[in-house]
Structure 1
Amino acid sequence: MTRPLKAFIFDLDGVITDTAEYHFLAWKALAEDLGITFTREDNEELKGVSRMDSLEKILALGGRTGDFTAEEKEALAEKKNEHYLTLIQNITPADLLPAIKELIMDIKAKGLKLGLASASKNAFTVMESLGMKSEFDIIVDAKSVVNGKPHPEVFLRAAEMLGVEPEACIGVEDAAAGVQAIKAAGMFAVAVGPKASFENADIVYASTAELSLEKIVVVYNA
């Protein structure tokens, strides 16, 4: 039996705001510096994946996996992050995805806890720019965990920080790796995106505009 619902834990990129375009442009700039062709299709493989794992995928694309030391790879990842930080300076509350602010306010009105579990190392900066940082009880970012998604660590850490059991949490994600992480953590999974991409999710919505606390809770309690 499902425990009484106590918390929602959100992914950031693609759920609360769409920084995917900024990540793509930053990775593309780095790839071009390295003489590697990097397309939007290639970028799909990086959704929900950590920065260092994303770099490894890009180096593999260009056949350059063995060309850099661990220290040089760290420097490359940092260079990508500098590109990204420049690009996201213009984010404002207007960049919240459709219906997300309403959903968050509905969750808070019900007295449920709110957590963020993001693969981004810039989650605090982005949430501040969106005007949403103060609405969340806790934020867990890539700096806080050892294992990236699809490992459940980031969601388990969020539940621990919120003081709730994983089974009493609903996770919201837009990446297959993220949904895997939610399910591995023992949580109820809400996915945003094409239904065919999320066989393991408990509910799938085509876009954030369709998200509804009432509908999610009905399925959770079923």
Structure 2
Amino acid sequence: MTAPALVALAHGSRDPRSAETIQALVAEVRAMRPDLRIETAFLELSKPTFGSVVDKLVKAGYDEIVVVPLLLTEAYHAKVDVPRAIAEATSRHDDLEIRATAVLGLENVFLEVLDRRLRTALKEARVRELDALVLAAAGSSDQLANQAVARLARMWSAKHRLPTVAAYASAAPPATGEAVRQFRAEGRRHIAVGSLFLAPGTLPDRAAELALEAGAVAVSAPLGADPEVARTILARYAVGAVELVPV
């Protein structure tokens, strides 16, 4: 029996760097599981669209698809956009089963990815001392999503024994610049920012710009095409594939 296809479903962006990074991440997943049919799709703003990818897979003979939403929080896109896209695609194909997994989420192992990205940024900026951290995320009108980021910031703080706050690029305070300025008001001068974004784009750029203007000494790159993120995608797929097995 053919294993279900895996569709890594990202939001999409007008910034071409975003789609390039997502494609590189999915290439990491393919390298780990060359036996699987793995496709990239986007909800909007980038191509290929989810509907076109589903059509291609159905034409290739797949009747089971596991969708892994490449989202870091359970907010609007996960709760509304993903189910809507799946319902639309399913309605066009008889006998097609599509199972959406949990989003990537905020896995503890992502802190290791953040650390690697931040070490690179600190080395490039020739910074050897830190006295505070800011965890920059997209932000959401969904307070549970923001609280999940804040919890990860507390874990990052405990790991490095440094004061750490979460900041958001949209929809919720504080912005990264505000967070950096607050630390500076407390007398801290070596403040670094970890970018809790999956790929480059307008929001990460804005978060970095505000942080540097406020006096941050370094801002890390987004998580990007990291093997740990790729392994998380495969872990989500494994659960979704099992759920498709008839009982």
Q: Which has the larger radius of gyration?
A: 2
Greater per-residue strand proportion:
2
Question: What TM-score does the superposition give when structure 2 sets the normalisation length?
Answer: 0.34
Question: What TM-score does the superposition give when structure 1 sets the normalisation length?
Answer: 0.36
Greater per-residue helix proportion:
1
